[in-house]
Amino acid sequence: MIEEYNTGLSIIFLFKSDEKELYQTVLSEKSGGRFRSSVSTSIPYSSDELQPVGGISYTTENDTGAFLSIVSNDEEVAYIEAGVGSNIERKKIKQGERISFLFPFSEQINFLYPTAYNKDGKKLYYYGYPKDTNVSISEDLKWHSVDEQL
């Protein structure tokens, strides 16, 4: 287990498996006196400059939320912004670090519009599907360099 995040009504666990080479996000909810898990997501390891290592969007009977965790392998990336409307958060990040966003509303992760910037505010990467495509392949949902789109 890498970390856990308590929303008050649920707990999100982030796991890493070197054996299976993947990260897993697990949502656990209190049921009676125990916690039970009914939802999880997995993300395989990658060598991308920015790697999502956790992500889940959920709506349950008692709770809603969106969670995203990212590791940066790019020394140029200084901060990442994610969110929608008035709920946009900015977090500083350094090469080799992991940061996480936890929102109190459910939104598909790519619709949180995660974007990575350098120290001067230049947009370097965005998370989502490639621009100018109308075909959605799950392997294409990742961090893309803004320069690729020029």
Domain residue limits, the chain: 3-149
pLDDT at 48: 92
Instruction: Please tell me the predicted confidence (pLDDT) of residue 56.
Output: 95
Reported as a single tens digit per residue, the pLDDT across 60-72 is 888 899 999 999 9
Q: What one-character-per-residue DSSP string does 59-86 give? A: E-SS-EEEEEEEEE--TT--EEEEEETT
pLDDT tens digits in sequence order for the chain, 150 residues long: 999 999 888 999 999 999 999 999 999 987 777 778 888 999 999 999 999 999 999 998 888 999 999 999 999 999 999 999 999 999 999 999 999 999 999 999 999 999 999 999 999 999 998 887 766 777 788 999 998 654
DSSP3 helix / strand / coil % (the chain, rounded to 5):
5, 55, 35
pTM of the prediction?
0.90
Do the Cβ atoms of 5 and 27 come closer than 8 Å? no
* DSSP helix/strand/coil, 35: strand
Give the per-residue pLDDT at 105.
95
